[in-house]
Structure 1
Amino acid sequence: MRSPLLSVTLSVLLVCMIGWLLVVGRSLLLPFVIALIVWYMINALSHVFGRIAIGRWRLPGFIAFPLALLSIFAIGTFVLDIVTVNLTQLAQDAPTYQRRLEDLFNQASNHFKLNDPIELKDLFPDSLVPRMVTAGAGLVTALAGSASLVFIYVLFLLFEQSTFDSKFEKLFPNSDRARSAFAMRAEINRSIMHYFSIKTTVSIATGLLTSLVLIVIGLPYAALFGFIAFLLNYIPTIGSLIGVIFPSLLAIVYYDTLGPFIAIATGLGLIQFSIGNFVEPRLMGSNLNLSGLVIMLSLAFWGAIWGVVGMVLCVPLTVMIVIVCARFEASRPIAVLLSQTGDIGLKSAPPPSTAE
Structure 2
Amino acid sequence: MRSPLLSVTLSVLLVCLVGWLLVVGRSLILPFVIALIVWYMINSLAHLIQAIPIGRRHLPGYVSFSLALLVIFAAATLVLDVVTVNLTQLALDAPTYQKRLEELFGQFSSHLDLNDPLEMKDLFPDSVVPRMVTAGASLVTTLAGSASLVFIYVLFLVLEQSTFDAKFERLFSSPERADAAFAMRAEINRSIMHYFSIKTSVSIATGVLTSLVLIAIGLPYAALFGFIAFLLNFIPTIGSLIGVIFPSLLALVYYDNLGPFIAIASGLGLIQFTIGNLIEPRLMGSNLNLSGLVIMLSLAFWGAIWGIVGMVLCVPLTVMIVIVCARFEGARPVAVLLSQTGEVGPLPR
TM range (shorter): over 0.9
**2: distance between equivalents of 1:107 and 1:237?**
33
Q: Using the TM superposition, give the Cα deviation of residue 107 of structure 1 relative to its aligned residue in structure 2, in angstroms.
A: 1.0
What is aligned with 1:57?
57
**2: distance between equivalents of 1:138 and 1:286?**
38
For residues 73-111 of structure 1, give each alpha carbon's deviation from its aligned partner in whole angstroms, at most 9, with x where no partner exists: 000000000000000100110000000011111111111
SS at match of 2:309: helix
What is aligned with 1:194?
194
For residues 213-271 of structure 1, give each alpha carbon's deviation from its aligned partner in whole angstroms, at most 9, with x where no partner exists: 00000000000000000000000000000000000000000000000000000000000
- Alpha-carbon RMSD: 0.6
What is aligned with 1:259?
259
What aligned pairs does 1:12-27 form with structure 2 within 5 A after superposition? 12-27=12-27
What is aligned with 1:350?
348
**2: distance between equivalents of 1:235 and 1:135?**
19
Are 1:47 and 2:47 matched, yes or no?
A: yes
Q: Using the TM superposition, give the Cα deviation of residue 55 of structure 1 relative to its aligned residue in structure 2, in angstroms.
A: 1.9
What is aligned with 1:205?
205
In the alignment, residue 41 of structure 1 is paired with which amino acid? M
**2: distance between equivalents of 1:173 and 1:234?**
39
For residues 128-170 of structure 1, give each alpha carbon's deviation from its aligned partner in whole angstroms, at most 9, with x where no partner exists: 1101101110110110011000000000000000000000000
What is aligned with 2:36?
36
5+ residue gaps, structure 1:
352-356
Large movers: runs of 4+ above 3 Å: none
SS at match of 2:224: helix
What aligned pairs does 1:152-301 form with structure 2 within 5 A after superposition? 152-301=152-301
For residues 193-215 of structure 1, give each alpha carbon's deviation from its aligned partner in whole angstroms, at most 9, with x where no partner exists: 00000000000000000000000
What is aligned with 1:329?
329
Q: Using the TM superposition, give the Cα deviation of residue 114 of structure 1 relative to its aligned residue in structure 2, in angstroms.
A: 1.1
5+ residue gaps, structure 2:
none
Q: Report the TM-score when normalising by structure 1.
A: 0.97
**2: distance between equivalents of 1:62 and 1:127?**
52
SS at match of 1:267: helix
Q: Using the TM superposition, give the Cα deviation of residue 350 of structure 1 relative to its aligned residue in structure 2, in angstroms.
A: 1.5
SS at match of 1:286: coil
What is aligned with 1:109?
109
Q: Using the TM superposition, give the Cα deviation of residue 54 of structure 1 relative to its aligned residue in structure 2, in angstroms.
A: 2.1
**2: distance between equivalents of 1:11 and 1:176?**
27
For residues 291-339 of structure 1, give each alpha carbon's deviation from its aligned partner in whole angstroms, at most 9, with x where no partner exists: 0000000000000000000000000000000000000111111100000
**2: distance between equivalents of 1:146 and 1:331?**
36
**1: distance between equivalents of 2:105 and 2:342?**
52
In the alignment, residue 2 of structure 2 is paired with which amino acid? R
Q: Using the TM superposition, give the Cα deviation of residue 43 of structure 1 relative to its aligned residue in structure 2, in angstroms.
A: 0.1
**Residue range with higher mean Cα deviation, 51-60 or 61-70:** 51-60
**2: distance between equivalents of 1:80 and 1:121?**
33
In the alignment, residue 164 of structure 2 is paired with which amino acid? F
What is the total number of aligned residue pairs between the two structures? Answer: 349
Report % sequence identity: 82
